[in-house]
């Protein structure tokens, strides 16, 4: 059963090489990529069931025992996020395939499939890595793949945006490698389970410095304020499916790494003020930036930044309830953010512009297919936290945790979260008014042959339905999130699973 842990990394890497060998055979490339991601999703689901039933699953790569050897570790948190991430990656892939059939130049250039598979492999490695160095390798694998994807069929503006993305990511990678070296110099290991015991003996100043450095490294990846500047300039320039998968997944890997490293290596018993201040700033700056945008993709990019603050809110509380809220919010946000960017892709394709003011002047409501309206409404209302949708469930969990924690800092976090929800609702109303007001167009879709194809719409519907599934299954999912959070706060199970060998 330990082989299940390796397949989310191994299968996409092997398939990427095979897809390259199928150059010129577009149908075979598409079929292979879809089949591999389907297999990875099935593996992730089986792995989650196994972990939920029996505890963490550990694979010692090459048979070398930890902490000397490389280990891949699937606990509840890693397995849960892996399932959600691969599900969204598969849905976005189907959207890209549907879009590319009508407009081959839009997305599916030759490097798309191998790069997309390597991106998924990097995501899997990031969630499953049991040491800091292989977490670094995962980020580098995602960086290499994402740079190819963000510059597919690129003109000057997209190349410029891609360079901003790459330079920022390389700076973060340099800081990360420096942090890994400093951690190793201070403790003699980079294995996360082993570090959980060794960092306790470090001087308080050294612990604080390492914690802050790693927070900055992953904060750049997660686009927290004031390290968010690169995201609104980079994501909106890419094709709709690329923007959707980046927005849904890449920042969440940064959040995941922050949660994993801070809870394992630097546990706290009270409010983490640094994270609290950053969470408030991220929520407010992100949404204030969103309401000032005219470009729909930039607006959604700023809302993405703002809602990363919600995930830091639970981490700042640093208790089981807060971390459970963060996990639940990450699951919700991965799905909803992908849904919104896919819907935006349909709207932009139908109207020919990403400008809200141009949409409004041009009567976008007469051009956008009527079926897109409910898809946007469900995803937008969920993002704003309107009951009973998944966004409300996740935000309620975070607000309840903040109130239960008590204290001025926790109440300030709750107040910022409520204000951010109102600003999110206002931003979504702006998009609705621009893109969907006016009488619905009748007759066949003018752009159905290009990006309103049945497959693109079906993929978007699937992501929206996945968000509704989170709402329907809120009870079991909240219980799963609480158990995962309890394992983060009480890391003995993780440490024993890794250092004691495979379970």
Per-residue 3-state assignment (H helix, E strand, C coil) for 88-151: HHHHHHHHHHHHHHHCCCCCCCCCHHHHHHHHHHHHHHHHHECEHHHHHHHHHHHHHHHHHHHC
Average confidence (pLDDT) per 10 residues, the chain, 503 residues: 88 92 82 94 95 90 82 93 96 87 52 91 94 93 88 72 82 92 92 89 91 94 89 81 90 94 91 93 94 91 94 93 94 94 89 84 74 91 91 92 90 93 94 76 42 79 92 91 92 87 44
Domain annotation covers residue 186? no
**What per-residue confidence (pLDDT) applies to 366?**
73
pLDDT for the residue 446: 45
Q: How far is the C-alpha of 289 from the C-alpha of 222, rounded, in Å?
A: 17
Contact 259, 251 (CB under 8 A): no
Q: How many domains does the chain have?
A: 1
Q: Is residue 176 part of a domain?
A: no
CA distances from 73 to 38, 107, 261 (A): 21, 34, 14
- Find out whether 432 and 377 touch, Cβ atoms under 8 Å: yes
107, 115 Cβ separation under 8 angstroms: no
H helices within 371-407, ranges in order? 372-384, 390-405
Residue 274 CA: distances (Å) to CA of 147, 255, 271, 401: 31, 15, 9, 18
Question: Are the C-beta atoms of residues 280 and 309 closer than 8 Å to each other?
Answer: yes
* Contact partners, residue 487, CB within 8 Å, separation at least 6: 75, 76, 77, 493, 494
d(CA 13, CA 52): 27
Q: Whose CA is closest to 268, among 219, 322, 309, 308?
A: 322
For residue 433, tell me if it sits in a domain: yes
The answer to whether residue 394 sits within a structural domain is yes
End-to-end CA distance of the chain: 9
Cβ 28 vs Cβ 140: under 8 Å: no
Q: What is d(CA 63, CA 502) in angstroms, rounded to the nearest whole number?
A: 11
Task: Give domain status of residue 6, yes or no.
Answer: no
**Could you tell me which of 232, 460, 247, 235 has the C-alpha nearest to residue 368?**
460
| CA distance linking residue 254 with residue 217, whole number of Å | 9
Is 130 inside any structural domain?
no
- CA atoms 421, 426, 430, 435: torsion sign: positive
CA 463/CA 51 separation, integer angstroms: 25
Residue 389 inside a domain? The answer is yes
Query: How far apart are the C-alpha atoms of 428 and 32, rounded to whole Å?
Result: 37
For residue 360, the model assigns a pLDDT of 79
Contacts with 195 (C-beta within 8 Å, 6 or more apart), sequence order: 132, 183, 187, 189, 264, 265
Q: Which residues pair with 295 in a beta bridge?
A: 355
Instruction: Examine residue 431 and state whether it is found in any structural domain, yes or no.
Output: yes
Question: Of 390, 406, 275, which Cα lies nearest the Cα of 338?
Answer: 390
Q: State which residues form the domain around 353.
A: 268-472
- C-beta neighbour count of 442 within 10 angstroms: 7
Can you read off the two tokens belonging to residue 483? Answer: 């158990």
How far is the C-alpha of 376 from the C-alpha of 337, rounded, in Å?
11
């Amino acid at each position: 059963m330990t082989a299940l842990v390796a397949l989310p990394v191994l299968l996409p890497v092997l398939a990427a090489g095979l897809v390259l060998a199928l150059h010129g055979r577009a149908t075979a490339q598409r079929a292979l990529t879809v089949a591999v991601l389907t297999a990875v999703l099935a593996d992730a689901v089986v792995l989650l069931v196994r972990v939920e039933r029996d505890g963490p699953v550990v694979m010692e790569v090459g048979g070398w025992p930890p902490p000397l050897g490389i280990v891949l570790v699937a606990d509840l948190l890693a397995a849960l996020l892996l399932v959600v991430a691969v599900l969204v990656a598969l849905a976005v892939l189907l959207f890209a395939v549907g879009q590319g059939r009508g407009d081959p130049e839009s997305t599916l250039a030759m490097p798309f499939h191998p790069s997309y598979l390597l991106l998924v492999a990097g995501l899997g490695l990031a969630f499953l890595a049991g040491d800091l160095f292989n977490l670094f390798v995962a980020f580098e694998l995602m960086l290499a793949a994402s740079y190819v994807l963000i510059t597919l069929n690129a003109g000057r503006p997209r190349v410029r945006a891609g360079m901003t993305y790459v330079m920022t990511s390389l700076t973060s990678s340099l800081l990360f490698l420096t942090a890994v070296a400093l951690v190793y110099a201070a403790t003699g290991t980079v294995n996360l389970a082993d570090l959980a015991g060794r960092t306790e003996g470090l001087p308080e100043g050294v612990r604080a410095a390492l914690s802050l450095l790693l927070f900055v490294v992953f904060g750049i990846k997660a686009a927290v304020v004031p390290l968010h500047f690169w995201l609104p300039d980079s994501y909106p320039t890419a094709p709709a499916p690329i923007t959707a998968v980046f927005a849904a997944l890449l920042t969440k890997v940064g959040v995941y790494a922050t949660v994993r490293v801070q809870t394992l290596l630097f546990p706290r018993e009270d409010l983490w003020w640094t994270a609290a201040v950053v969470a408030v700033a991220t929520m407010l700056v992100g949404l204030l930036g969103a309401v000032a945008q005219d470009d729909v993709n930039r607006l959604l990019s700023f809302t993405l930044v703002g809602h990363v603050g919600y995930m830091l809110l639970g981490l700042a509380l640093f208790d089981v309830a807060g971390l459970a809220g963060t996990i639940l919010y990450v699951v919700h946000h991965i799905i909803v953010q992908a849904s919104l960017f896919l819907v935006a892709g349909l709207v932009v394709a139908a109207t020919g512009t990403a400008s809200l003011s141009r949409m409004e002047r041009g009567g976008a409501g007469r051009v956008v297919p009527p079926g897109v309206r409910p898809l946007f409404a469900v995803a937008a209302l969920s993002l704003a936290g309107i009951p009973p949708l998944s966004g409300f469930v996740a935000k309620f969990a975070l607000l309840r945790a903040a109130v239960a924690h008590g204290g001025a800092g926790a109440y300030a976090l709750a107040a910022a979260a409520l204000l951010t929800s109102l600003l999110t609702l206002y931003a979504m109303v702006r998009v609705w008014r621009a893109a969907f007001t006016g009488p619905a167009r009748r007759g066949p879709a003018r752009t159905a042959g290009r990006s309103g194809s049945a497959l693109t719409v079906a993929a978007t519907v699937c992501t929206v339905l996945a968000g509704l599934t989170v709402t329907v299954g809120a009870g079991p999912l909240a219980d799963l999130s609480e158990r995962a959070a309890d394992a983060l706060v009480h890391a003995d199970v993780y440490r024993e699973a890794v250092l004691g060998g495979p379970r």
